[in-house]
Amino acid sequence: MKFYLQWYARLPSTNTFLKERLAVERGLPSGTAVAAREQTQGRGRRDREWVSATGENLTFSILLRGKYEPRYLPSASMAAAVAVAELLEAQGLTPALKWPNDVLVNGKKICGILSEKISCGVIIGIGLNINMQRADHIDQPATSILIETGKRRDVDELLGKLLKHLSVRLDEWAHGGFSKVRKNWESKVPSIGKSVTVRDGGAMRTGILEGFGNDGELLLRDETGAVSAIWAGDLAV
């Protein structure tokens, strides 16, 4: 997969900006990627805020064109998470993947991913904490490469490396869905076989995480032994 990268000094949200560009430039090629030095109104799942100060973190979005079935969409984020985890491993870290779209280090969030269905395909937004020095302004345990290693990284250089991993994993996903990345995803999910809780709005379900279905849905075994597929929610171990 080939990427066409464009940097911007400041954007509200790279996902929103890419959608707005598509409305005007309908011929934008698949692989178009927009990255922001500073993001002021970034969004995560359930419209959670994801703000990035200048030079601290990596915030960018990728356009993938294609006729993807709606059931494929959740696993686009999972394929991207595998690529992020591979980059972090190369930086000397030990990442863990948390369904459906988070990458953790030492139990703290270091990366969030948001996939959005559009008429011509999907937009995948990625926010990776790189040079963030403090995490006390975030409403959940969070970390960065700097916090974990004590060393700053060049954001542009890391994006170049990450795009190489994304090229492989997103190409696999585009041509075969979650089944193509399942092995790599599950190898980085330490909660398989453990008791977990999934919250979706006011509903809460607890059971054993059996694994993941053909399209990335979470498989939860309850106390009776019955296994249910869960397509959305927040996971807690």
SS (H, E, C) 109-148: EEEEEEEEEECCEEEEEEEEECCCCCCCCCCCCECCHHHH
Q: Looking at the structure, tell me whether residues 171 and 202 fall in a common domain.
A: no
**CA 115 to centroid of chain Cα atoms:** 8
User: Using an 8 Å Cβ cutoff, are 85 and 77 in contact?
Assistant: no
Task: Tell me the β-bridge partners of 2.
Answer: none
Domain span including residue 206 = 195-236
Pairwise CA distance, residues 208 & 195, whole Å: 4
Q: What is the pLDDT of residues 12-33, one digit of tens each?
A: 899 999 999 999 999 999 999 9
Pairwise CA distance, residues 128 & 131, whole Å: 9
**Domains contained in the chain, number:** 2
Q: Confidence class of residue 7 from pLDDT cuts 50, 70 and 90? A: very high
**What confidence score (pLDDT) does residue 202 get?**
78
First to last CA, the chain: 35
| CATH code: domain of residue 223 | 2.30.30.100
Mean pLDDT of the chain: 90
Last residue of a domain, one of 186, 205, 226: 186
